[in-house]
Amino acid sequence: MREIRVHGRGGQGAVTAGDMIVIAAVMGGEFGSSFPLYGDARRGAPVVAFVAIDDQRIRLKTQVYTPDCLIVLDSRQKDWPETYKGVKSEGILVVNHTNTIEQQPHPNIIKAGAVDATQIAMEEIGIPAFNTCMLGAFAATTEWIELDSILGALEKTFSGEILKKNIKSAERGYKEVKGSSW
Amino acid sequence: MNKPAVETKPNIEVCDGNKAVAHAVRLSRPDVVAVYPITPQSAVGEWLSRWNDEGTLNAEVVRVEGENSSMGVCCSASLTGGRVFTGTSSWGLLFMMDGLHYAAGYRIPVVMTNANRETPGIFTIGNSSQDMWSVRDAGWIQVNVEDNQEILDAVIMAYRIAEDTDILLPMMVCYDGFYLSYRKDPLEIPAQDDVDAFLAPLKQSKRNIVTPDDPMVFGIPSFFPKDQGEGCTEFRYKHSAALERVKDKIDTVDKDFEAIFGRSYAGQIEAYRTDDADIVLVATGSVCGTAKVVVDKMRDDGVKVGLIKVRLLRPFPKEKIAKVLEGKKGIGVIDRSVCFGYHCGHLYMELKSALALEGLPTTLPTLNFIGGLANLDITVEQVETTINLTLAASKGETVEEVTWLSLEE
């Protein structure tokens, strides 16, 4: 089982990103589950989504304490120590950030992918809806899920013009993510 | 744009617990649905309203002004012969408390879902089983489920049980709010033809229908207390006896369901790896998924542990539970609520009473663990703790009877 924790803020699409990873995993023939942790709905408040993917049905109903991968939508949270809590050795970070991650952010992180998802989303979608771009970067960095499955998940979530724009954004995230490893 | 190379099976859909409820209701073809929003289950009513507008559901969706009216609408519509549904949670469930007693006392087969959530008093927006257990004496049939597929399947089965001529009682399908209501899982959505076939036997079921041509009075109007009391006693007895019949009925309906859909939940309880177990955990709801994972892990380490997942809460399946626990060396009960007045969890109180009534030795070490209140996680480590302490107690060590997990000493 691979566990993912998505860190963001209310309104950034952390929960939707988690859901789309599950849809993509299922389209790729695997099982998955995701659920968010937030109290009363508030834009801007930190939000965490817990995702698990596996080749069998996920029975565990707990939060993710030992993630294999962190997806950080809000670049400031990459500097928060609590973001890395419990991350497994050989952990992977995917972050919405303008520059390549030069410094190893945590001893357990051995691979990072940075993409300027906010900029790409502004160019392709016209609003800072950068979660779908981050899914492209996630697919490229982890290689756990095919880009095609991510695009399939987008098709199940959006339609029309919005779908087209989000597909462009996800494809660019996939291509333009800048990797580093330690 | 290129189509994705992978194709998912057409009947598999990734959806959360609330949408699982909505799918089950849609497939069961209700006549009247009453909706009122409350976190964490508002999406149930949103999906049903939307599908009704789009025409995939053909019901009268009544947008009421509060949950007390939801139950009023459901009771009235059901008395005219309709199939009805409403969903609620916590504050909403308690706001229809008189309606719950009406529905059960009048033997009205309302099917309702409850997304388990903490009750008022301490304002929390989080899961616990406090609301579900608070209404356990209203005379309803209550089941509590482990995951989203089971939500969908249990709601469809609920119609077969509630509307059966042998039963005619309201039924509440409870599922953990937040942990299931907001959790996305791939689910198998049954085909409409299969659900129609499964519910077809209900066409033979008989119940009293109220029409303007045949007005009836419900209750025992009498100026003589003795007549009223005797009438009430008879009604109460028949109601209680009907609840007892649910035990066999839920087992039979589960088998019928399996024959059509290929999925079974074992009816009243699921005994997981209990056959050769020395110690057994007893739990209900979503925590059972986590507990099964931990049981498997501890089994690999050589600990002979099993789990009883209690599905049916009312009537309480005391005979089935006692049969599984006979000869075991220790029992650990996980609760997600507090039974005030007993200073333990509800399931623990129920279980202790069941063991005594079924004649199991009172010396059998039984422990209670209270956790997961107000959306706290019941973690893998905590479930391991419950097993380790139950194991210690089974070997004669002195262990505190009730442990409040996550309570800082």
Work out the average pLDDT over A109-124: 98
Nearest CA-CA distance, residue B377 and chain A, Å: 6
What does the pLDDT read at residue B302?
97
Task: Decide if A90 touches B, using CB distance below 8 A.
Answer: no
Q: DSSP readout, A84-114?
A: GTTPPTTEEEEEE-SS---S-SSTTEEEEEE
Q: What pLDDT was estimated at residue B124?
A: 86
What confidence score (pLDDT) does residue A39 get? 62
* d(CA B15, nearest CA chain A) in Å: 9
Give pLDDT tens digits for B107-159: 999 999 999 999 998 888 899 999 999 999 999 999 999 999 999 999 999 99
Q: Which of B8, B125, B182 has its CB closest to that of A40?
A: B125
Q: What residues are paired with B114 via a beta bridge?
A: B88, B174
Per-residue pLDDT tens for B207-262?
888 888 988 777 666 666 777 778 888 999 999 999 999 999 999 999 999 999 99
Chain A residues lying within 8 Å of B186, measured CB to CB: 22, 26, 31-32
Which residue did the predictor score with more confidence, A146 or A44? A146
Calculate what percentage of chain B has a pLDDT beyond 90.
Answer: 88
Please check whether residue A28 touches B, CB under 8 A: yes
Subunit contact B184:A149, Cβ cutoff 8 A? no
Residue in chain A closest to B127 (alpha carbons) equals A39
Per-residue pLDDT tens over the stretch A67-116: 999 999 999 999 999 999 999 999 999 999 999 999 999 999 999 999 99
B409 pLDDT more than 60? no
A164 vs B: CB within 8 A = yes
The model's pTM: 0.95
**pLDDT tens digit sequence for B14-34:** 999 999 999 999 999 999 999
- B14/A167 touch (CB, cutoff 8 Å), yes or no: no
Does residue B334 surpass a pLDDT of 60? yes
Mean pLDDT of A59-73: 97
Q: Which residues of A touch B372 (CB under 8 A)?
A: none
**Position of tokens 């006693």?**
B233
What is the pLDDT at residue A112? 98
pLDDT on residue B4: 39
Number of other CB atoms surrounding residue B396 within 10 Å: 10
- Structure token pair of residue A144: 């756990």
What is the 3-state secondary structure of chain B? Answer: CCCCCCCCCCCEEEECHHHHHHHHHHHCCCCEEEECCCCCCHHHHHHHHHHHHHCCCCCEEEECCCHHHHHHHHHHHHHCCCCEEEEECHHHHHHCHHHHHHHHHCCCCCEEEEEECCCCCCCCCCCCCHHHHHCCCCCCEEEECCCHHHHHHHHHHHHHHHCCCCCCCCEEEEEECCCCCCCEEEEECCCHHHHHHHHHHHHHCCCCCCECCECCCCCCCCCCHHHHHHHHHHHHHHHHHHHHHHHHHHHHHHHHHHHHHCCCCCCCEEEECCCCCCEEEEECCCHHHHHHHHHHHHHHCCCCEEEEEECEEECCCHHHHHHHHCCCCEEEEEECCCECCCCECHHHHHHHHHHHHCCCCCCCCEEEEECCHHHCCCCHHHHHHHHHHHHHHHCCCCCCCEEECCCCC
Residue B7: pLDDT band with limits 50, 70, 90: very low
Position B2 confidence tier, pLDDT thresholds 50, 70, 90: very low
The tens digit of pLDDT for each residue in B167-218 reads 999 999 999 999 999 999 999 999 999 999 999 999 998 888 888 898 877 7
Q: Which residue of B has its CA nearest to A33?
A: B185
Confidence at residue B351, expressed as pLDDT on a 0 to 100 scale: 97
Which residues have C-beta within 8 Å of that of residue B205, sequence separation ≥ 6?
Answer: B163, B164, B165
Output DSSP code: residue A42: -
Which of A37, A62, A146 comes nearest B379 by C-beta? A62
Structure tokens, A138: 């996630």
Q: Which residues of B touch A161 (CB under 8 A)?
A: none
User: How far A182 CA sits from the closest chain B CA (Å)?
Assistant: 31
| Non-local CB neighbours of B200 within 8 Å, separated by 6+ positions | none
Compute the mean pLDDT over every residue in chain B, rounded to the nearest whole number: 94
Contacts of A26 in chain B (CB under 8 A): 8, 12, 14, 186
Q: How far apart are CA B175 and CA B257, in angstroms?
A: 20
Span B342-354, mean pLDDT? 97
Instruction: Confirm or reject contact between A166 and chain B (CB < 8 A).
Output: no
**Interface contact flag, A148 B6, Cβ < 8 Å:** yes
The predicted pLDDT at position B214 comes to 85
pLDDT at B303 over 60: yes
Q: Which residues in chain B have Cβ-Cβ distances shorter than 8 Å to A160?
A: none
